[in-house]
Amino acid sequence: MKVLLSTTVNGEQVQEAVLPRTSLADFLREDLGLTGTHLGCEMGACGACLVLMDGVPVHACLVLAVQAEGSTIETIEGLNETGAAADLQAHFHDRNALQCGFCTNGMLMSAQALLEANPVPTRDEIRDALSGNYCRCTGYEAIVDAIDTTARDRAARTEAAK
């Protein structure tokens, strides 16, 4: 039996009837067509499905859609539109920090959350923060570089603004 779900996704009010067993990932991908959220393991190990739920990265494969009742969800599509991570995306592009692109959504989510919490992380801290994000293509170094560069750029801009 479907239940009514009210939530905010990428700034838009959403009201949909969902089956209680539907995962947030399936809801976003199939009901809302937000296919930028990917599924790689469906057990919270690979990080491809990370979305921001009330500002915190969560595995959309481990959260039920009904748990998002009253929450604010932001997916890669939303993050892209707000431009909040435009510099991070640009550094990923410049450093070629992605190949097949399947992990990229989750990498951006983890990186954005890391830089909120720790604006100038060390390389080891960046590597630690990505410990739940699997990438088969890049070997990670380019991703670490892109986040590192973004952090230093943001810090420099903050400093300049003072």
Partner 1 sequence: MTLHIGQSQRRENARRHLAGRGRFVSDLALPRMLHAVFVRSPMAKGRLVEIDTSEAEQSPGVVRILTAAELNARCKPWVGTLDHFAGMQSPPMSILAEEEVLWTGQPVAMIIAKSRAEAEDAADLVMVDIEDSEPVTDGAAALQDGAPLANSGARDNLCYEALLETPAVNEAFADAAHVVEASFTFGRHTAVTLEPRAVIADFDPSSGALTVHHGTQTPYQFQDVYARHFGLPEGKVRVIAPDVGGSFGMKLHVYNEEMGAVAASMILERPVRYVADRLESFLSDIHARDHIVKGRMALDAEGKILAMDVDDLAPVGAVSAYPRTSAAEGNQVIRLMGAPYNMPDYRGRLQVAFQNKVQTSQYRAVGHPIACAVTEALVERAAEVTGLDPFEIRARNLIADDAYPHVSATGYQFEKLSHQASLAKLREMMDPDALRADQARLREQGIYRGFGIASFVEITNPGAAFYGVGGARISAQDGAVVRMTPSGDIHCAISVTEQGQGTETIIAQVVADQLGVSPERVSVTTGDTATTPSGGATWACRGAGIGGETALRAGRKLRERILTLAGALLQADPATLRLEDGAVVDVATGEARITLEEIGRVATYRPDTLPDGVDHSLTVAHHFAPSGYPFDFTNGIQGSLVEVDVETGIVRILKHWVVEDCGRIINPLLVDEQIRGGVVQGLGPAFFEECQYDADGQLTNGSLADYLVPMACEMPDIEIAHIETPTEDTILGAKGVGEAGTAAAGAAAMNAVNDALRPFGARLTQTPMTPLRILDALDAARKQRTDP
Is 153 near partner 1 (CB under 8 A)?
Answer: no
Which member of 60, 98, 114, 151 binds partner 1 (CB under 8 A)? Answer: 98
Q: What are phi and psi of 117, to 5 degrees?
A: -80, -35
- Cα separation of the two ends of the chain: 56
Cβ distance to partner 1 smaller for residue 82 or 158: 82
Q: C-beta of 101: minimal distance to partner 1 in Å?
A: 3
Q: Which two tokens stand for residue 61?
A: 């494969």
SS3 content of the chain, % helix, strand, coil (to 5): 45, 15, 40
Binding residues for partner 1, how many (CB under 8 A)? Answer: 56
| Cβ neighbours around 55 below 10 Å, total | 10
Binding site for partner 1 (CB under 8 A): 19, 21, 29-30, 34-43, 45-46, 48, 75-77, 79-80, 89, 92-94, 96, 98-105, 108, 123-124, 126-128, 130-144
